[in-house]
Amino acid sequence: MAQSSNRLFDEIARLATDAAGAAQGVRREVETVVKSQAERLIRDMDVATREEVEVLREMVLAAREENERLSARLKVLEDRHSATEDAKPTSA
C-alpha cells in the first residue's frame, strides 16, 4: 500500500507541476495578446507621441512670447499715435 500511495502522490505532484507550467504559459500568452491589442488600439487612435507634444509645447510658448512682445509694441505705437493726435492743433 505504501508503494502505491507514493506513486499516487508522485503522479499528483507531477500533474500539479504540469498544470502550473501550463497556467504560466497561458498567462504569458494572454499578456502578449492584451499588450498587442492595446498597442493596436493606441496606434489606431492616432495618439500624439511625447516628442510631438514637446515640439507643440515649445511652439505654443514661442507664440505666446511673440504675442506678448507684439502687444507691448502695439501699445507703444498706440500711445505714440495718441500723443501726436493730442498735439495737433484743432482748426475752428
Contacts of 48 (CB under 8 A, 6+ apart): 56
Q: What band does 2 get if pLDDT is binned at 50, 70 and 90?
A: low
| Tens digit of each residue's pLDDT (9 = 90 or more) over 16-50 | 888 888 999 999 999 999 999 998 998 888 888 89
User: CA 20 to CA 89: how far, in whole Å?
Assistant: 99
The pLDDT tens digits of the residues spanning 45-57 come to 888 889 999 999 9
Mean of all residue pLDDT scores within the chain: 89
**Is residue 1 scored above 80 in pLDDT?**
no
**Predicted TM-score of the model (pTM):** 0.48
Confidence of residue 87 (pLDDT cuts 50, 70, 90): confident
**Residue 92: Cβ within 10 Å count:** 3
